[in-house]
Structure 1
């Protein structure tokens, strides 16, 4: 007697039942190309366990620049902490996540992999289309021309081309004049490969005033509404999208929050004889705390060779609780990329295309790469220690060419 063929609905019910029995939770992740995928992980899993599954799925090696976010019950997007259980962070909310760029490198063209650069392009495109980053008409057109070259290829007179041009997200407002300018510039990119088009896109996008800046509404000491921005270089303050203050990490002694007040302690400058405290008021305690944690993470990621092993008194704390960023820094990520060359999978560059699941196996290697302890021994030499392998190596580098802040 032959086996009974089950319907899709029956198969779904069986899968759901197996999930319950095995104490497994479905986590839905939306990627930067708008595709979605479900991951089934243990209900007691940490954010890092899910994140590793996600980057393994798309074969992303330079994963340190990215993270997962989720919406709380107010609709606010929060970053998923890799070292904490997911269930304790979501507190009953659906396991629905967005894969996003968390740390924007100052020069994204120096990223090692084509796939990483493509993901960065997708994030910036989203930032521009949503209005988070504004640009001039000329810049919208130039960036749009590189998007079309990357995803469509060379210019061609065809209904498919016209349809593609009108349906792709080039700017918050799409006009006939902008489409005509994009088309005119696109003709000049004939023969340019998708990877080269991505590089040109990043080369121009990194010059935008709000590139890589995450902003939160706040008020200054006089009660004026400002946008409090955090990025690779430091803390930026904006009014009407115009930057009025820039506090670079090198000039900041400490940052702190108390209730909903965020305080920046600055070093003595040429004009100020004494150290200066500048305060900003956020909507509530939680917003101030999130801004402080994100500033700590950006400072550690972009400025330090490696994160501190444990929270200590100093820049990270000023009566604001215990917290420190424990992932790889940009320095460690770049070192790993430059020491261990790798090739990314083929990239399907289309608005609706899903990521290629082909792999050459190198993605798994990066996930297993042992943590490195790195010490500057002299101007041109680094001592690199592998914690898990208990080995040490002296490697010669020109530190000025590693593109760190």
Structure 2
């Protein structure tokens, strides 16, 4: 989908345009994601200008994504919404975010296969037909045979809608349903992923969920870059507001600043989950028609960053390309994070490494440790992944030095500002005749009176004596 908009158009305009194109009413679960030139992911803020949020030059490339996963996707009011959530979760499975056991993986893949090609037909589906579909980053031939077995024997007669519904029912029971991983390191500098889910805060390490936390527990983790840290913080603010609050009127502006450093201010501007569900219950229209055309292998769906499969022909006859690409360029954000959803024979797969603060999967054939942008999500290889150690470039060293200098200057300026503010307050307390309540209360305290007579007055007399001496010295000259 290509769109031309005014330079001062806000994100809400683009989002409403996409939802209208898709005939989507339960739109509050979705958002628009884009990736800046440094491979850092962002959610488009609807209240701000689109052009001002972009670091790149137009045309801009963005994609529609599920931003807030429904806690119970089966309870969504309209099939079009469930279908879009199904496509997102299927994509999560393909990119290794939806971790699961081999048995669960086989069942989920079989549901996808049934939704894509329908009932098993010996005339159309020769031996090994399931191997043409890429359901996961990597899997074994044994798993492929198990997928085909379930498809042949257990799912006969299921319509695409039923298979998608069963897929969602199974996916929502998994620990990593709704996970959007953020790469980081713990206090011991071990790699990990932090993720917000509809049910809490999750920490992933070694392809396993090691922590499931409530919002009140505090842990220390380090993001790879300041931009990644800010993105993680914003996601946390939005997820907490969406899932925890009763009403959007309870949302408050949150600041990340502290005593010494100027932080960011951010306010979630959408509805909360309870309001979204109440609004969805009031939908009375006839459901929009979705014409099924399941003939495309699953792996072709993930080329570039396409969001929808071939089942995207809407009732108005237009192509419902939910990728929301606002340019003709291929969108390759390098956001394939975990290498596999299946732990075959109890073996753990190594986590993908991070290059320049962005999560990515590194294939064995990439000997240089770098990855071209167009190859970021063209489809993970079946070969085992290995860790690649990248050497810092001189430009990155200069950037780190500049950031350090800026931090020191900021600390110095903040300190000077605090000292000036304290000096101004001291002058107001001791030298001015302002009769303000809070100043009067401070002046009456024993501590202030002792400070005034024992320290301030002698210090003032000393400065006055020095000034008179300097004045006399200058006059004598």
Q: Report the TM-score, using the length of structure 2 for normalisation.
A: 0.57
Aligned position for 2:237: 296
Offset from partner CA, 1:116-168 (integer Å, 9 cap, x none) = 11111111111111122232222221111111222222221123577973433
Between Structure 1 and Structure 2, whose CA radius of gyration is higher? 2
Of 224, 237, 262, 2:190 maps to 224
Aligned position for 1:78: 42
User: RCO greater where, 1 or 2, for CA within 8 Å and sep 6 or more?
Assistant: 2
Q: Kindly report the root-mean-square deviation, in angstroms, between the aligned alpha carbons of the 2 structures.
A: 2.5
Offset from partner CA, 1:209-262 (integer Å, 9 cap, x none) = 22212222223334333222222223222221223322213xx2xxxxxxxxxx
Residue 321 of structure 1: CA displacement?
Answer: 3.4
Aligned position for 1:61: 25
Residue 340 of structure 1: CA displacement?
Answer: 2.1
Of 146, 164, 178, 1:198 maps to 164
Please, which runs of 5 or more residues in structure 1 have no aligned partner?
1-36, 253-265, 267-276, 361-405
Of 284, 289, 313, 1:345 maps to 289
CA distance in 2, matches of 1:278, 1:300: 20
Offset from partner CA, 1:317-375 (integer Å, 9 cap, x none) = 67453212111222111111112233132243534526223159xxxxxxxxxxxxxxx
Is 1:135 the equivalent of 2:100?
yes
Of 357, 374, 384, 2:314 maps to 357
- In structure 2, the CA distance between the partners of 1:162 and 1:64, relative to structure 1 (3 Å rule), is farther
Do 1:345 and 1:359's aligned partners in 2 also have CA atoms closer than 8 Å? no
Do 1:58 and 1:355's aligned partners in 2 also have CA atoms closer than 8 Å? no
Aligned position for 1:336: 279
Do 1:301 and 1:330's aligned partners in 2 also have CA atoms closer than 8 Å? yes
Report the number of matched residues.
297
Is 1:109 the equivalent of 2:109?
no
Is 1:306 the equivalent of 2:247?
yes
Offset from partner CA, 1:194-213 (integer Å, 9 cap, x none) = 22111110111112222212
Please, which runs of 5 or more residues in structure 2 have no aligned partner?
297-308, 318-477
Q: Report the TM-score, using the length of structure 1 for normalisation.
A: 0.67
CA distance in 2, matches of 1:133, 1:318: 34
Is 1:169 the equivalent of 2:134?
yes
Do 1:310 and 1:324's aligned partners in 2 also have CA atoms closer than 8 Å? yes
Residue 181 of structure 2 aligns to a residue in which SS? strand
